């Protein structure tokens, strides 16, 4: 009888360990999906793998100990909570990464309204893969074993495991990370890690995927909470000097004496997921974007199809942020979650014109209402201002923009966001341009069809501008928020286009024709419009005779300091 009891107890203990192993396997699958997709920013070596292994153990142990205590030491309930947290966390991160290429952060979770928008849900469903059946299999295995779990004394053992893992992880940091010998002591090391003297030495802020891979979810999310709680960072004197140096470099690249375009309207069309390669494509002998191609040939249009994106985790909201502020987005969190609380050098403020933005979504998507106020827009028109169905298209977007153009005094600044080229690319939306060539992949065919549709809507908007006399009195900017990220369409270039319409030929001859960056658009517009300012962004004017498209880490660090330090509030 005693042997039977001992055997039963051993089997029960092994079942508990097996369920905990399943929890660890969930996190393992998540992390190594990032590794296989090459989302980890830095080189992966043996210390990276060891840290990841320790992080998984620490995450599972901490989650179980907390769940076990919260359920009044009920073993089955504690294991169930731990298992489903790790399962849902793993699945959510894998699905999220297929579109944003990052781990979920607290700032991303805080944008839940954006993630559960109908368009985003369609994208997520389109992102499901057959390999996701692992999670179904894992639930089956868990269900089979959890029913055999009984109470066992395991709390003390797990606590010891946790302490050992934390100790090993701490020793790993002591060996690898402190840059100077004085930080290789317990107290000074912790102080150094929690409150860095220079933000650019903090790899959690610079390389968030690398940090999450090495630290695991519990420590990464805790650290983000700490940074959020700490609020605005107090900038050091050395940081302020480096910020001033970067600002001065940009100011030197700006001519500042152009007056040709100073008193005209500025219309900025931000096209969703627009990529330059479409301008060179024909299907069945027909151009994919015939109107935009005609602009490329116009003598009053500056076109650059070699612009590199600078967006990070925030996708479309990052594209707007770059164009409206001349700053780089944050690398570790969704920028608008922080930027909505600080003073920004918004482009509407610099232009000093009556300004508005027309968007095809609800105002809560990417906090558009708050960000528009921070940028300095006078008006925001969103989905509630349209007549008709809630699933808006670019025809409706431009119709509303036309209506507002007719109601606005000149000069004005208008930003129009398009929507119809947004993923998923599962159906063709333009019946006038069907693509039936079987040699073109289905998603690419649907994307090209959407490009043709949006091209037609932009053409109709230009006709409106010409009919109302606004065209000749406007500088019109057409640029993409970012390229398509979740597919390479068979290896096409990820460059995005920039059109500047109504730029005199003599000015165009001075402008850079090679590879440039999104961050340069803000600087170039202020230069073209002859605006005097203490802030021209962190880009370089395309009018600069010594233009260079190089972007070093220092610029990203400076932008990070400016945003986290609320630099413009002083």
Place of tokens 């000097």: 241
Residues sharing a CB contact under 8 Å with residue 429, sequence separation 6 or more, in sequence order: 393, 420, 446, 449, 450, 453
Dist CA 79 CA 32 (whole Å)? 23
Dist CA 485 CA 339 (whole Å)? 24
Is the predicted pLDDT of residue 69 greater than 50, yes or no? yes
What Rg value do the Cα atoms of the chain yield, rounded?
Answer: 27
Q: What is the pLDDT of residue 318?
A: 96
pLDDT tens track for 409-454: 889 999 999 999 998 898 999 999 999 998 999 999 999 999 999 9
Q: What is the pLDDT of residue 495?
A: 96
Is the predicted pLDDT of residue 333 greater than 70, yes or no? yes
pLDDT band at 189 (very low <50, low <70, confident <90, very high): very low
Dist CA 104 CA 121 (whole Å)? 16
In contact, 275 and 474? CB cutoff 8 Å: no
Q: What is the pLDDT of residue 138?
A: 93
In contact, 366 and 336? CB cutoff 8 Å: yes
In contact, 326 and 518? CB cutoff 8 Å: no
Give the mean model confidence (pLDDT) for residues 137-143. 91
Is the predicted pLDDT of residue 570 greater than 60, yes or no? yes
Q: What is the pLDDT of residue 315?
A: 86
In contact, 441 and 382? CB cutoff 8 Å: no
Is the predicted pLDDT of residue 2 greater than 70, yes or no? no
Is the predicted pLDDT of residue 124 greater than 90, yes or no? no
pLDDT band at 161 (very low <50, low <70, confident <90, very high): low
- Nearest of 242, 246, 272 to residue 523 by alpha carbon: 246
Task: Mean pLDDT check: name the lowest of 33-37, 290-294, 300-304.
Answer: 33-37
Task: Mean pLDDT check: name the lowest of 126-140, 392-406, 494-508, 520-534.
Answer: 126-140
Mean pLDDT of the chain: 85
pLDDT tens track for 265-283: 999 999 999 999 999 899 9
pLDDT band at 163 (very low <50, low <70, confident <90, very high): low
For 99-121, give one letter per residue: b (16+ CB within 10 A) or e.
Answer: bbbbbbbbbbebbeebbebebbe
Dist CA 222 CA 197 (whole Å)? 20
Q: Phi and psi (nearest 5°) for 305?
A: -95, 15
Dist CA 317 CA 35 (whole Å)? 26
Give the mean model confidence (pLDDT) for residues 152-166. 61
């Amino acid at each position: 009888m005693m042997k039977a009891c001992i055997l039963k107890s051993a089997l029960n203990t092994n079942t508990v360990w097996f369920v905990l192993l399943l929890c660890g396997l969930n996190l393992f699958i998540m992390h190594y999906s990032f590794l296989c997709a090459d989302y980890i920013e830095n080189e992966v070596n043996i210390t990276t793998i060891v840290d990841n292994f320790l992080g998984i153990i620490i995450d599972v142990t901490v989650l179980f100990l907390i769940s076990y205590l919260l359920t009044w030491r009920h073993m089955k309930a504690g294991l169930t909570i731990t298992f489903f947290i790790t399962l849902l966390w793993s699945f959510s991160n894998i699905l999220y990464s297929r579109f944003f290429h990052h781990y979920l952060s607290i700032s991303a979770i805080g944008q839940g309204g954006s993630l559960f928008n109908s368009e985003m849900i369609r994208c997520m469903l389109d992102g499901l893969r057959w390999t996701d059946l692992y999670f179904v299999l894992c639930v089956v295995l868990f269900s089979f074993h959890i029913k055999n779990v009984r109470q066992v004394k395991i709390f003390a053992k797990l606590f010891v495991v946790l302490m050992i893992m934390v100790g090993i992880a701490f020793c790993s940091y002591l060996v690898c990370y402190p840059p100077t010998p004085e930080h290789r002591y317990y107290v000074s090391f912790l102080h150094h890690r929690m409150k860095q003297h220079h933000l650019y030495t903090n790899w959690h802020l610079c390389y968030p995927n690398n940090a999450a891979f090495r630290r695991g979810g519990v420590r990464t999310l805790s650290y983000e909470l700490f940074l959020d709680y700490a609020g605005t960072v107090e900038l050091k004197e050395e940081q302020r000097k480096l910020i001033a140096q970067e600002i001065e470099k940009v100011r030197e690249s700006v001519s500042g004496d152009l007056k040709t375009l100073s008193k005209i309207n500025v219309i900025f069309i931000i096209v969703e997921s627009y990529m330059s390669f479409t301008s060179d494509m024909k299907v069945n002998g027909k151009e994919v974007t015939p109107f935009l191609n005609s602009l490329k040939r116009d003598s009053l249009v500056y076109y650059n199809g070699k612009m590199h994106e600078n967006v990070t985790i925030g996708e479309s909201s990052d594209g707007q942020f770059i164009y409206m502020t001349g700053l780089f987005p944050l690398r570790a969190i969704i920028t608008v979650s922080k930027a909505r609380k600080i003073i920004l050098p918004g482009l509407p403020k610099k232009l000093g014109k009556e300004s508005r933005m027309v968007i095809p979504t609800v105002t809560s998507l990417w906090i558009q209402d708050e960000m528009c106020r921070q940028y300095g827009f006078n008006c925001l028109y969103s989905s509630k201002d349209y007549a008709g169905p809630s699933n808006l298209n670019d025809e409706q977007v431009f119709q509303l923009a036309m209506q507002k153009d007719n109601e606005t005094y000149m000069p004005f600044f208008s930003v129009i966001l398009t929507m119809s080229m947004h993923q998923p690319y599962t159906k063709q939306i333009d019946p006038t341009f069907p693509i039936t060539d079987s040699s073109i992949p289905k998603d690419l065919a649907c994307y090209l069809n959407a490009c043709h549709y949006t091209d037609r809507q932009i053409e109709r908007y230009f006709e409106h501008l010409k009919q109302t006399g606004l065209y000749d009195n406007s500088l019109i900017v057409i640029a993409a928020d970012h390229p398509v990220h979740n597919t390479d369409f068979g290896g096409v270039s990820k460059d995005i286009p920039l059109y500047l319409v109504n730029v005199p030929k003599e000015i165009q001859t001075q402008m850079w024709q090679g590879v440039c960056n999104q961050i340069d658009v803000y600087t170039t517009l202020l230069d073209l419009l002859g605006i005097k300012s203490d802030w021209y962004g962190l880009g370089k004017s395309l009018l600069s005779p010594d233009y260079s498209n190089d972007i070093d880490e220092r610029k990203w660090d400076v932008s990070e300091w400016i945003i986290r330090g609320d630099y413009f509030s002083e």
